[in-house]
Chains A and B, each alone.
Chain A
Amino acid sequence: MTKYLLTLMSLGAIVGFQSCKMKTTEAAVSGDAASKVYVAPGKYDEFYNFVSGGFSGQVSVYGLPSGRLLKVIPVFSQNPENGYGFNEETKPMLQTSHGFIPWDDEHHLALSQTNGEHDGRWLFANANNTPRVARIDLKTFKTVEVLELPNSGGNHSSPFITENSEYIVGGTRFSVPIADQEAALTQASFKANFKSTVSFIAIDPTTGRMKIDFQVVLPGMDLDLSRAGKGPSHGWFFFSTYNTEQANTLLEVNASQKDKDYIVAINWKKAQEYARAGKGKKMATEYYHNTLNEENHTATSEVEKEVLTLDPNELKDFVYLIPCPKSPHGCDVDPTGEYIIGSGKLAALIPVFAYQKITKAIADKAFEGDYYGIPVIKYEAALHGEVQKPGLGPLHTEFDGKGNAYTSFFVSSEIVKWNIKDLKVLDRVPTYYSIGHLMVPGGDTKKPYGKYVVAYNKITKDRYLPTGPELTQSAQLYSIDGDKMQLLLDYPTIGEPHYAQAIAADKIKAQSAKIYDINVNKHQYVSMGEKTTKVVRAGNRVDVYMTAIRSHLTPDNIEGIQVGDEVYFHVTNLEQDWDIPHGFAVKHAANAELLIMPGETNTLKFVPTKAGVYPFYCTDFCSALHQEMQGYMRVSPKGSSVPLKWHTGKTDSAAAVAAVR
């Protein structure tokens, strides 16, 4: 089997890349692959693998090398499993300047870095549709902040990060008229009115809190992907861009006219100096900034009213363009920070640029012209060299820290390993099928862990049991320990995986929170023990202060609710034990359940539309008497004289008390 594979591969290398694509599902794995990914029951994986959820709007967490799914973290989409975006505490997380938006398209992830290495504090995620970025706390694996981006249309080149987490970026995929103007959809109007922006989002080094420090306003073009410089190139950000033709229709043809588009190089340190010196322009706008407070378990929204913009036509020498063939996609910086690898989706080569050459070209003014006033560096002046005939449709490149690069090829469905210095192709393996991003653990840092490369594939025809017209997406794990890559494992993924990150488990495992300390629960509606449970009516609003513990809810009998009341169940989980959440669901509640972590308080809003008796219960199996963890709410017609009362067991809460605020 191995022989067959090797023969085929060498044949492929000689004949050309197209014959490399395997057409059958066999002949994929050989040797001791199984033992290399086997993580015995009770043992832990070596890496956390955070994978973007694409159109699911969420982030999934897998263990590597096993490929076991460990968790789904809801970020930009509601999640009925745990009530994210449904319960009152998290609804503000999905609030935007255009109202409540419960879905998005999540593409890229960035782990926070210190000195160019992953530090395990936060994970950042982008929303591609309604431009937003999110921060996930890696102690609790919860989304704790969502920041909307103004003047943006499709936040695609995001949230790539600098080597000390100074900034993450949000680069617009669709150029749009800024300041929310409308404009005609003609080419003349496009050229006149449409702009691209890059938001530089500063990260507070202690709290992680995000803030748009400034926006760079660029000519209308589509910013695609991005990387921060590192080491010598720290202080720079690089963006790939397509549609520099500025077409507004049928881009498949109209944005493929030019032989080369650009890589946009932004000197962010210089931009920061301009911003600090008050040289930017403040623009009135409106965007939401949502944060979850983990002490009171409650999210709040603030509306930001202003953004500082920098125009490279007025403030010179901080933005340059580098020609890059053709319709570039990936734009990746190697671990030394010296090489920037472009990937033209339609190019039959991979251009590699050298940071030293770029700075020299700028010093020498080796420009071939300008694009809307922005200098365009001569291609040859910036170029380290080209990888010739590597494959079809190069997209993304990651690195092993030993001087090798791994590039994904969408059209020819393969990963190609090549040497950065001499640009020679060293190895190639097929993927199944249509690989997009790929990821080496730590491959975007100064010190990659190497060991594995993971392919994130768009298509899985005939790889798994068929499930109707729609098949799962997949990831494939390859060993890169030796000279030759070796396929070890397929594992299905949720949504459509785009970029991913992986970090050594040891950097996160020990800090993982196990419970929320109930003694510091500062929720407005917390019940500190059953003694403090109660039901309070104020007009047609009814607040139920409820507790949950193995194996009962308190109160579990509630009467005096009327049709049309807005009933808020504030359920506090009194447990202080790891992995003992309690669920809470009410018959006919029109949103979702609650899933309340130990020591946490969550709120479910329920507006009964008909009189009757409504059972409620715990949804998450907790003990032998879990099934008994249930209760009733009596709903009477509007204006009924049934008094408000509640109890659990014999401790009937003293007759009818209709506390009125």
Chain B
Amino acid sequence: MNLKHFYVAAFAACFIIYGCGGSSEEKSVKDETPQQPVDESPAPAATASDKGIGKFQNVELTHPLDEGMVKAGQGTYDVKCGSCHKLNEEKLVGPGWKGVTDRRTPEWIMNFVTNVDEMLEKDPKAQAMLEVCMVRMPNQNLKDDEARAVLEFMRKNDGKN
């Protein structure tokens, strides 16, 4: 293929891709390199759920509070969260935590802190908060049990039992 033909072909390929809306049929590049990871879990309609988007769809709460988790959650708060979230109602970089367990479901909170990027892209409540704070919450790479412990610490902070 000479250069001129290549350009023609490349142009045609682009045109086709546009026509298909970038469907998975595009084959303009030979390399097999990974696509964006495909979310295979059923994507809940963003507006239909107050549980947020992520793997936590049913968080069982403990009554009374699990003091071990509260303590672990406070430890994580001190290292990873306290820089931006106060424990009262005052906004620092992010919103104050007072009352967060009344405003959001346990699932939403767990999904937000473990699945930050997708939540900020798709969840209306998360997006609304981003418009207020203007700083994307850092993904702090919390493990599931760390996130659960932080939730317990939030419940303690809100006077739950």
B2 within 8 A of A: yes
Query: What 0/1 readout, one digit per residue, does chain B (114-149) give for beta carbons within 8 Å of chain A?
Result: 000000000000000000001110111110000000
Tell me the chain B residues, 29-79 only, with Cβ under 8 Å from chain A: 29-31, 33-34, 78-79
In the complex formed, the residue of B with least CB distance to A578 is B139
B156 within 8 A of A: no
Residues of B within 8 A of A125 (CB): none
A550→B141 contact, CB < 8 A: no
Shortest Cβ distance from residue B19 to the other chain A in the assembled complex, whole angstroms: 17
Query: What 0/1 readout, one digit per residue, does chain B (73-100) give for beta carbons within 8 Å of chain A?
Result: 0000011101110000000110000000
A489 within 8 A of B: no
Contact (A39, B80) CB under 8 Å given A550-B138, A577-B140, A624-B135: no
Report how far A515 CA is from B141 CA in the complex, Å: 9
B78→A528 contact, CB < 8 A: yes
A46 within 8 A of B: yes
For the complex, would chain B's binding face be called helix, strand, loop or mixed by DSSP majority?
A: loop
Residues of A within 8 A of B31 (CB): 39-40, 43-44, 46
- A574 partner, pick from B2, B3, B79, beta carbons under 8 A: B79
Contact (A31, B138) CB under 8 Å given A549-B84, A552-B83: no
In the complex formed, the residue of B with least CB distance to A517 is B141
Shortest Cβ distance from residue B109 to the other chain A in the assembled complex, whole angstroms: 18
B28 within 8 A of A: yes
Shortest Cβ distance from residue B4 to the other chain A in the assembled complex, whole angstroms: 11
A450 within 8 A of B: no
In the complex formed, the residue of A with least CB distance to B78 is A529
- B140 partner, pick from A40, A552, A575, A624, beta carbons under 8 A: A575
A641 within 8 A of B: no
B8 within 8 A of A: no
A296 within 8 A of B: no
A24 within 8 A of B: no
Report how far A531 CA is from B78 CA in the complex, Å: 7
A31→B2 contact, CB < 8 A: yes
- B79 partner, pick from A32, A528, A552, A625, beta carbons under 8 A: A528
Residues of A within 8 A of B141 (CB): 515, 517, 576-577
A580 within 8 A of B: yes
A464 within 8 A of B: no
For the complex, would chain A's binding face be called helix, strand, loop or mixed by DSSP majority?
A: loop
Shortest Cβ distance from residue A533 to the other chain B in the assembled complex, whole angstroms: 10
B78→A550 contact, CB < 8 A: no
A530→B134 contact, CB < 8 A: no
B6→A35 contact, CB < 8 A: yes
Report how far A343 CA is from B127 CA in the complex, Å: 65
Report how far A625 CA is from B84 CA in the complex, Å: 13
Interface residues on B, range: 20 to 34
Query: What 0/1 readout, one digit per residue, does chain A (499-529) give for beta carbons within 8 Å of chain B?
Result: 0000000000000000101110000000011
- A576 partner, pick from B1, B29, B93, B139, beta carbons under 8 A: B139
Residues of A within 8 A of B83 (CB): 529-530, 547, 549, 552, 554, 574
Residues of B within 8 A of A547 (CB): 83
B135→A550 contact, CB < 8 A: yes
B138→A551 contact, CB < 8 A: no
Tell me the chain A residues, 140-162 only, with Cβ under 8 Å from chain B: none
Report how far A40 CA is from B14 CA in the complex, Å: 12
Shortest Cβ distance from residue B133 to the other chain A in the assembled complex, whole angstroms: 9
Query: What 0/1 readout, one digit per residue, does chain A (615-627) give for beta carbons within 8 Å of chain B?
Result: 0000000011100
Report how far A484 CA is from B78 CA in the complex, Å: 63
A70 within 8 A of B: no
Residues of B within 8 A of A532 (CB): 78
A34 within 8 A of B: yes
- A529 partner, pick from B28, B80, B135, beta carbons under 8 A: B80
In the complex formed, the residue of B with least CB distance to A532 is B78
A649 within 8 A of B: yes
Contact (A40, B28) CB under 8 Å given A35-B6, A518-B80, A575-B138: yes
In the complex formed, the residue of B with least CB distance to A41 is B29
Shortest Cβ distance from residue A50 to the other chain B in the assembled complex, whole angstroms: 20
A38 within 8 A of B: yes
B139→A624 contact, CB < 8 A: no
A551→B140 contact, CB < 8 A: no
B29→A40 contact, CB < 8 A: yes
In the complex formed, the residue of B with least CB distance to A599 is B141
In the complex formed, the residue of A with least CB distance to B29 is A40
In the complex formed, the residue of B with least CB distance to A648 is B83
Residues of B within 8 A of A578 (CB): 139
Query: What 0/1 readout, one digit per residue, does chain B (1-32) give for beta carbons within 8 Å of chain A?
Result: 11100100010000000000000000011110
Query: What 0/1 readout, one digit per residue, does chain A (573-585) give for beta carbons within 8 Å of chain B?
Result: 0111110100000
Report how far A146 CA is from B79 CA in the complex, Å: 33
Residues of A within 8 A of B136 (CB): 550, 623
A39→B135 contact, CB < 8 A: no
A577→B6 contact, CB < 8 A: no
Shortest Cβ distance from residue B40 to the other chain A in the assembled complex, whole angstroms: 20
Shortest Cβ distance from residue A273 to the other chain B in the assembled complex, whole angstroms: 48
A552→B134 contact, CB < 8 A: no
B82→A530 contact, CB < 8 A: yes
Tell me the chain A residues, 25-62 only, with Cβ under 8 Å from chain B: 30-32, 34-35, 38-40, 43-44, 46
Report how far A623 CA is from B135 CA in the complex, Å: 6
Please name 15 further chain A to chain B contacts, defined as beta carbons within 8 Å, in addition to the given A40-B29, A576-B138, A624-B135, sorted by A numbering: A35-B6, A39-B31, A40-B31, A43-B29, A43-B31, A515-B141, A518-B79, A528-B78, A547-B83, A549-B84, A549-B93, A552-B93, A575-B138, A576-B139, A580-B138
Binding site for A on B (CB under 8 A): 1-3, 6, 10, 28-31, 33-34, 78-80, 82-84, 92-93, 134-136, 138-142
What are 21 A-to-B residue pairs whose CB atoms are below 8 Å? A35-B1, A35-B6, A35-B10, A35-B30, A38-B29, A40-B29, A43-B29, A44-B31, A515-B141, A549-B83, A550-B93, A550-B136, A550-B138, A551-B93, A576-B80, A623-B135, A624-B134, A624-B135, A625-B93, A625-B134, A625-B135
Binding site for B on A (CB under 8 A): 1, 30-32, 34-35, 38-40, 43-44, 46, 515, 517-519, 528-532, 547, 549-552, 554, 574-578, 580, 623-625, 649
- By Cβ-Cβ distance, the 8 closest A-B pairs, closest first, are A576-B141, A44-B33, A43-B33, A529-B78, A529-B79, A577-B139, A576-B140, A549-B83
